[in-house]
Structure 1
């Protein structure tokens, strides 16, 4: 078994998870969400997705990459979604790529898909009026130095204006 980028061992996907992801991947290939491109990898359990900033937003013309790691019991459990390399400057995105977005944690529902996650992230980016890191970025990133997963964070969702 290989280990993910956050120090936890990957577990083999359940049959339900593998079937669901195969269905989502097929749907994505037929009808990809606007502004996103799935990069083909050899793993159904880890998707790399290109994100293109929407026209007429602060992120227009910019490209970012998401890493989506699916847990053994997806979709009953949310995937781990982080920005790779240099994440966008945004009040809800930490410099280590962690994203403060309720649907990735407390508000996750098995009815959600990778496409719906992507659309939510693009909406979050598109509605931003300022390019800035969260005020507690340095402290948060320092606390995550030992490979802590964003799913281990107790997020406080209080800012719906950004």
Structure 2
């Protein structure tokens, strides 16, 4: 019997293949139900115009009850966007990935939310504690207990 996680991910993948992704979002790789990769680009006028980033989603057996581990891919010529909620190691401080996660959210909804987060950014800068965090951060961003200062 398939797990809830694999059934849900199979459904999301079918929908992506049938309906496509929103503008600026592209599925790069989804060979299994463990790790998926997307490219994300902010469309229109923004601080991130003409910049494309890669997002990695890692799923555990508790998805969608448990949020996926989502981060920007860094390395091999890829960098994380310079943003007040994105650390240079690609970890993202966003409540939607933590205490405000809901099982009704989909992978595409997360991509759109992160695309919107970038689009609304007024000033490109790293989080104030970037260097300390990156030195001590776990591999899995879900193991970090972020403090959410605002909802922007």
Deviations 1:19-47 (A, max 9, x none): 11011011112221221000134222210
Count of matched residue pairs: 146
Deviations 1:96-121 (A, max 9, x none): 00000001011111111001101110
Q: Which of 19, 22, 40 does residue 7 from structure 2 map onto? A: 19
The equivalent position to 1:53 in structure 2, one of 42, 55, 60, is 42
Alignment of 1:128-139 (within 5 A): 128-139=121-132
Which runs of 5 or more residues in structure 1 are unaligned? 1-13
Runs of 4+ in 1 over 4 A off after TM superposition: none
Give how far 1:149 is off.
1.8
1:93 and 2:86 equivalent? yes
C-alpha distance in 1 between matches for 2:3 and 2:145:
30
Write the deviation string for residues 57-110 of structure 1: whole angstroms up to 9, x where unpaired: 111111100000011111010000000021000000000000000010111111
The residue that corresponds to 1:42 in the other structure is 31
TM-score by length of 1: 0.85
Distance 2:27 2:41 in 1: 12
Asked whether the 8 Å contact 2:3–2:61 carries over to 1, the reply is: no
Instruction: State the TM-score, normalizing by the size of structure 2.
Output: 0.91
Alignment of 1:28 onto 2:19: no
Q: Aligned-pair RMSD on alpha carbons?
A: 1.3
